[in-house]
Amino acid sequence: MSSNAAVTLQGVSKKYCRSLKRSMIYGLTDIARDLVCFPARVDNLRAEEYWALRNISLTVEPGECIGVIGPNGAGKSTLLKLVGGIYPPDTGRIRVRPRVGTLLEVGAGFHPLLSGRENIFINGSILGLKNQQIRKRLDEIVAFADLEEFIDSPVKHYSSGMYVRLGFAVAAHLNPDVFLVDEALAVGDTAFRIKCINRIAEMREEGTAILFVSHSEMQVRMAASRCLLINHSKAETYDYVDEAFLSYQNIINESNSAGELAGHADYYSDVELIDVKLKMPYAGDLLISGDPINVQLRFNVHTPVSDAHIIMRVWTAQGELAATVNSRDAGTSFNLPCGEASINIALDQLPLVPGKFRFAGGLLQKNRIIAWSTQLAWLHIKSKSGQLSTEGIMALSAQFEMKSRTKGIDIPLHGNIIS
């Protein structure tokens, strides 16, 4: 472990108590033991206690931005509070550079009656800055927050957007060694969010280590160099943001598919779906992005159906609709006589990003559902070689070309500009 890391966590755990009453009792006994320098035994859980974070180790170098991701209640905010020294750890050791800027809550520490300017000075002092240092950065902060007009009015008259802008501007311009951000950019307009992401990049160049909690995948992807995925009190670091999000998706899939198996909604009236077969170039439920796929549905038809059409939907693991195919759009409808019938849906390519996808679909007559399954199949898409991005839903391949105009002559250029 390098000694000049900005943040070092070694085997850090934190436990919470479910019951308020017991929490108070435990708190008092722990305090009593602290006071007589005989700290409580921390490795075992007492009644109603649970681990909020268990055995976390992490090193953050100056200039790094760690994206902290994970489901709700996984312990992300607790981690930031431990690093900020607001809560004590129950096991392990945390070492942090002295000046820690926190943005755990928008406008934390703002006094409503004071003007924006006065609040900047107070927040700066909380961060351990001298008045002179704050004064030097004041104009920058005001300009960044875009509040020149309102900087001398009390912040209680600010809109929530202005609050966010001022909060971020102050925390991000006072040159902290470590910057802890918890969902602070969830509010605010797009232009400001982009400004913030750019500011985070600048802070990294200035040597600030950043822990960035966000549920916005795009923000983490743009801001973070590495990721810490926290799930069920355990954490894992990923050197590549893509990897982290793939694992995160798998976690979501697990919880989703568990839920879906329980509430697996199928509806059949005159027609019953008896089998789904996927035909793919390779065996298993694995498909390379961009490969063709055939979905074969076998039905048991109890009553003849005429003029039916088939719909199939592709969902991402997060429950976003990726695509829909509808036989009616292709001008195809089916007349199903009694007995068994099989319908084949051929997709000549499925250009999806790597990850898990779910097929849902069924038969409709006019707008009446005859048979429907929310879970025809799960599909695991693997990336094509050389294709790295897992952002978004579609995997596109692109060629890049640049043209530039010099001295009135069009020169088509490929690759590097040579002059």
Partner 1 sequence: MRTDINRMINPSANDSIYEPGGDQRPGLGVWPIMLKELWDTRELIGRLALRDISTRYRQSLLGYLWAIIVPLITVAIFTFLTSKRVLPIGQPPLPYPVFALWSLIIWQLFAGVLSSCTQSLAAAGSLVTKMSFQKEALVIAAAGQPLFDFIIKLVLVIVVFTYYEVLPATQSVYIPLLLLPLMLLAVGLGFFFSIANLVIRDVGNVVGMIATFGMFAAPVLYPPPVTAPYFLVNILNPFSPILIASQDLIVHGELRHADLLWGAVVFAVLVFLVGWRVFRLVMRRIAERA
Contact 251, 73 (CB under 8 A): no
Q: Alpha-carbon distance 174 to 128, whole Å?
A: 9
- Residue 207 binds to partner 1 (criterion: CB under 8 A): yes
Stretch that binds partner 1, among 28-36, 228-236, 255-263, 301-309 (CB under 8 A): 28-36
Among 22, 59, 63, 138, the residue binding partner 1 under the rule CB under 8 A is 63
Q: Alpha-carbon distance 396 to 387, whole Å?
A: 9
Nearer to partner 1, 66 or 273 (CB): 66
Residue 50, both tokens:
């649970």
Stretch that binds partner 1, among 33-41, 254-262, 301-309, 340-348 (CB under 8 A): 33-41
Report the alpha-carbon angle 80-84-88, nearest 5.
Answer: 90
Stretch that binds partner 1, among 25-33, 142-150, 236-244, 357-365 (CB under 8 A): 25-33
Among 18, 19, 39, 306, the residue binding partner 1 under the rule CB under 8 A is 39
DSSP state of 327: T
Contact 96, 83 (CB under 8 A): yes
**DSSP assignment of 217-271, as one string?**
HHHHHHH-SEEEEEETTEEEEESSHHHHHHHHHHHHHHHHHHHHHHT--EEESSE
- Residue 211 binds to partner 1 (criterion: CB under 8 A): no
Strand 266-268 versus strand 339-347 pairing type: unpaired
Q: Within 111-170, which residues bind partner 1 (CB under 8 A)? A: 111, 113-114, 118, 121-122, 125-128, 130-131
- For the bound state, the minimum distance from the C-beta of residue 234 to partner 1, rounded and expressed in Å, comes to 19
Q: Which residues contact 259 (CB under 8 A, 6 or more apart)?
A: none
Q: Within 75-114, which residues bind partner 1 (CB under 8 A)? A: 81-82, 84-98, 100, 102, 104-105, 108-109, 111, 113-114
Among 18, 19, 24, 135, the residue binding partner 1 under the rule CB under 8 A is 24
Core vs surface per residue 74-112: b (16+ CB within 10 A) or e: bbbbbbbbbbbeeeebbbbebebbeebbbbbebbeebee
Stretch that binds partner 1, among 32-40, 269-277, 322-330, 411-419 (CB under 8 A): 32-40
Angle, to 10 degrees, between the axis of helix 116-126 and the axis of helix 131-145?
Answer: 130
- Residue 37 binds to partner 1 (criterion: CB under 8 A): yes
- For the bound state, the minimum distance from the C-beta of residue 113 to partner 1, rounded and expressed in Å, comes to 5
- Residue 221 binds to partner 1 (criterion: CB under 8 A): no
- Residue 206 binds to partner 1 (criterion: CB under 8 A): yes
Q: Alpha-carbon distance 155 to 119, whole Å?
A: 8
How many residues bind partner 1, per CB under 8 A? 56
Per CB under 8 A, residues contacting partner 1 are 3-4, 23-24, 27, 30-31, 33-35, 37, 39-40, 42, 62-63, 81-82, 84-98, 100, 102, 104-105, 108-109, 111, 113-114, 118, 121-122, 125-128, 130-131, 177, 180, 205-207
